[in-house]
Amino acid sequence: MAAETAPKGGHANFVHLRVRSIYSLLEGAVGPKELAKLAREMRMPAVAVTDTNNLFGVYEIADNLAKSGVQPIVGVTLSVDLSEAPAPYQNTSRQSYPAVALLVKDPAGYIQLSKLLSSAYLDVEPGEVPHVGADRLAQHAEGLILLTGGPNGPVNRLLADGQPQAAEALLDRLANWFGNRLYVELQRHGLANEGAVEEKLIDLAYAKGLPLVATNDVHFGREDMHEAHDALFCIADGTFLDVEDRRRLTPEHRFKSAEEMMALFSDLPEAIENTLEIARRCAFRPKKRTPILPQFVPESGLSPEDEMRAQAEAGLKRRLAEHGLFADEKVYWDRLEFEIGVITKMGFPGYFLIVSDFMKWTRANGIPVGVRGSGATSLVAWALDITNLDPIRFGLVFERFLNPERISMPDFDIDFCQERRDEVVRYVQQKYGRDKVGHIIALGSLQARAAVRDVGRVMQLPFSLVDRIAKLIPNPPGKPVSLTDAIETEPRLQQIAEQEEKASTVMRRRTPQEW
């Protein structure tokens, strides 16, 4: 039975299950808002984002899709090392692992996917790329749907290497782990490695009674973004557009319409229909939850609230004896009582005690440390040796830090000596448990000037030209200007853009020696 044409008034009969967003860093080029707009325009009822080894954008992407009336499907493209399986498959490079796509089916699956990602980063050897082994994948399969990964998947790689028995054994093992949540993935971007194994892959799926699913490995939105995305790959890999032997994608790696995908897989309509089946099975949307506050168990046997009060009162007495009074003593004690009441009511005594603990240890071990931000307004923080500044002396208002009428988490901005920062981290891990301590990541974006310089480099344009263009872009401190806004406000940029568009491709692609 041929796949039906999408009804005019209803949704499309295909769902993209393999989209790399901008959170696949220097790999994907689809922003959350752009994705929501594309899905809405093409009437897709759902979209799965499977960023490479991360869930960085999960909340932002899900919110944007949901607001556009599109069901978000949470997923990940996860690197796997299945060499532990009975199949005689070994990776040829420690830095190149095959990948599978995992889609979250329910809340239990989201928890399991989170555990897999944690393991991918924490349980690998130093210098290795994030990945999980066979045992981990089997252990955390609950609530997850697995797609075999397309041309970069472990099954396809085995078939391409001429190991059909190993591919069959691996499929058997995956089916044992995932049951009816395993789908054999087919992709058609016109690549040689796809067509070379497709027939064998389909035969294997039919022989094993496994469902097929059609996907498109989406890295950018529309076809006119292909050249820009190609430059992005060059920036990521430190190479040039002229280099032949480098990583590249085709214009087919775009967000195709349902009609395009249905035509592409007209011979396998069930592979298209199964995208909708998977979307119906993935009825889960991530929602933000109340932060889980750390638990502090005082060695004194007191409750965290009583321990904080006892330490704060003793600390204030010591501070006043050492530094003197800058107001009536009653002002200090009234302020301390008020702050203790607010901190206790908001449930943050444990947080203050933990920060106080590692700050005292840091200073006792001679490690340079400083505190920035609104934490300096807290008298309790001063009494607990978190800060070294008397807020009463300088008239600082505690409500800038904590305000019961505007609930927010306390946040001490602490800077440690770069050379000895790891010592503090190890101390906290040893005292509170390695599994209780996490590192955060700060995600940056390519600013307009930097982007122009990077693109100029990969195009091998003369440095003087690129530098001249980059310096025309406004660069006010703390207020980054997008390239689009810069062109609109700077006529000379528009002129240069038009001139460069008219210049011949040969001239633009000259090597530095030819210029």
Q: pLDDT of 138-154, one tens digit each?
A: 999 999 999 999 999 99
One domain, residues 117 and 198: yes
Q: Which positions ≥6 away from 84 have C-beta within 8 Å?
A: 133, 134, 135
One domain, residues 206 and 73: yes
Question: What number is the average pLDDT over the span 388-408?
Answer: 88
One domain, residues 425 and 461: no
CA-based nearest residue to 106, from 57, 142, 58: 142
What is the structure's pLDDT at 445? 82
Contact 225, 245 (CB under 8 A): no
CA-based nearest residue to 74, from 41, 31, 112: 112
What is the structure's pLDDT at 380? 97
Q: What is the DSSP string of 328-363?
A: -HHHHHHHHHHHHHHHHHHT-HHHHHHHHHHHHHHH
Question: What number is the average pLDDT over the span 291-304?
Answer: 87
**Of 341-355, 471-485, 493-507, the least confident:** 493-507
Asked whether residue 287 is assigned to any structural domain, the reply reads no
Query: How far from 368 is each of 360, 371, 417, CA to CA, in Å?
Result: 12, 11, 5
- Domain of 477, CATH number, reads 1.10.10.1600
**Of 121-135, 147-161, 403-417, the least confident:** 403-417
Say whether 431 sits in a helix, a strand or coil.
helix
One domain, residues 237 and 123: yes
CA gap 84, 79 in Å, rounded: 14
Q: How many residues does the chain have?
A: 515
One domain, residues 147 and 111: yes
One domain, residues 208 and 81: yes
Identify the band that residue 436 occupies on the pLDDT scale cut at 50, 70 and 90: confident
Question: What number is the average pLDDT over the span 33-61?
Answer: 96
Asked whether residue 119 is assigned to any structural domain, the reply reads yes
Query: How far from 254 is each of 17, 32, 268, CA to CA, in Å?
Result: 13, 15, 21
Q: What is the DSSP string of 391-403?
A: TTTTT--GGGT--
Residue where one domain finishes, among candidates 249, 281, 313: 281
Give the domain range for residue 386.
Answer: 304-435
Residue 501 has pLDDT above 80, yes or no: no
Identify the band that residue 287 occupies on the pLDDT scale cut at 50, 70 and 90: confident
62-78 pLDDT tens trace = 999 999 999 999 999 99
One domain, residues 429 and 375: yes
Signed CA dihedral, 163, 164, 165, 168: sign only: positive
Asked whether residue 478 is assigned to any structural domain, the reply reads yes
One domain, residues 162 and 267: yes
CA gap 312, 401 in Å, rounded: 17
What is the structure's pLDDT at 503? 53
Asked whether residue 127 is assigned to any structural domain, the reply reads yes
Side-chain-side CA neighbours of residue 413 (13 Å) = 6
Residue where one domain finishes, among candidates 250, 281, 312: 281
One domain, residues 353 and 376: yes
- Domain of 200, CATH number, reads 3.20.20.140
Residue 5 has pLDDT above 60, yes or no: no
- Count how many domains the chain has: 3
Asked whether residue 288 is assigned to any structural domain, the reply reads no
One domain, residues 419 and 350: yes
One domain, residues 224 and 359: no
Identify the band that residue 55 occupies on the pLDDT scale cut at 50, 70 and 90: very high
Asked whether residue 286 is assigned to any structural domain, the reply reads no
Identify the band that residue 471 occupies on the pLDDT scale cut at 50, 70 and 90: confident
Asked whether residue 355 is assigned to any structural domain, the reply reads yes
One domain, residues 476 and 335: no
Q: Which positions ≥6 away from 24 have C-beta within 8 Å?
A: 51, 52, 54, 77, 219
Asked whether residue 227 is assigned to any structural domain, the reply reads yes
CA gap 276, 17 in Å, rounded: 10
Identify the band that residue 359 occupies on the pLDDT scale cut at 50, 70 and 90: very high
Residue 391 has pLDDT above 90, yes or no: yes
Residue where one domain finishes, among candidates 435, 465, 488: 435
